């Protein structure tokens, strides 16, 4: 954690249909479980699976017919890059999907009433 932000409150933009919420209310924020699992699969597994499949394809090609020999490493890197590009496309196309954004689950406490007090005596 950044030492300058240690102890600072986190700011999260979350969707809510509750019109009674006001700035300063304490709330519980959550995301759908399916969205978390789907995002983790896309972020971590997609590039790795494409990397391994492309490397296997490169290893299956006959080494004598190609000038560089075994192409498993370059094709593996290409598969990894393609996986990252698919992730980028996926995140841009689903950025406005409301089912993937944090949502206010419930209100915990109301905003505290703040009174201004002058410490100077006149």
pLDDT in tens, 99-119: 777 777 777 766 555 554 444
Count of residues making up the chain: 122
- 111 Cβ contact list (under 8 Å, min separation 6): 22, 23, 24, 25
Domain extent listing, the chain: 33-109
For residues 45-71, give the mean pLDDT: 84
pTM for the structure as a whole: 0.61
Write out the E strands in the chain. 26-30, 103-109
Residue 47 scores a pLDDT above 90: yes
Phi, psi of 35 (to 5 degrees): -65, -40
Average pLDDT of the chain to the nearest whole number: 78
What confidence category does residue 23 fall into, taking pLDDT thresholds of 50, 70 and 90?
Answer: confident
The pLDDT > 70 percentage for the chain reads 70
């Amino acid at each position: 954690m950044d030492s300058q932000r240690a102890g600072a409150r986190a700011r999260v933009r979350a969707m809510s249909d509750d019109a009674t919420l006001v700035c300063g209310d304490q709330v519980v924020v959550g995301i759908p479980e399916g969205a978390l699992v789907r995002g983790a699969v896309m972020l971590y597994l997609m590039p790795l699976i494409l990397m391994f499949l492309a490397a296997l394809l490169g290893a299956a090609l006959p080494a004598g017919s190609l000038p560089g020999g075994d192409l498993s490493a370059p094709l593996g890197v290409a598969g990894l890059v393609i996986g990252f590009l698919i992730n980028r496309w996926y995140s841009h196309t689903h950025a406005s999907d409301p089912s993937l954004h944090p949502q206010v689950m419930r209100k915990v406490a109301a905003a505290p009433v703040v009174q201004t007090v002058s410490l100077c005596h006149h």
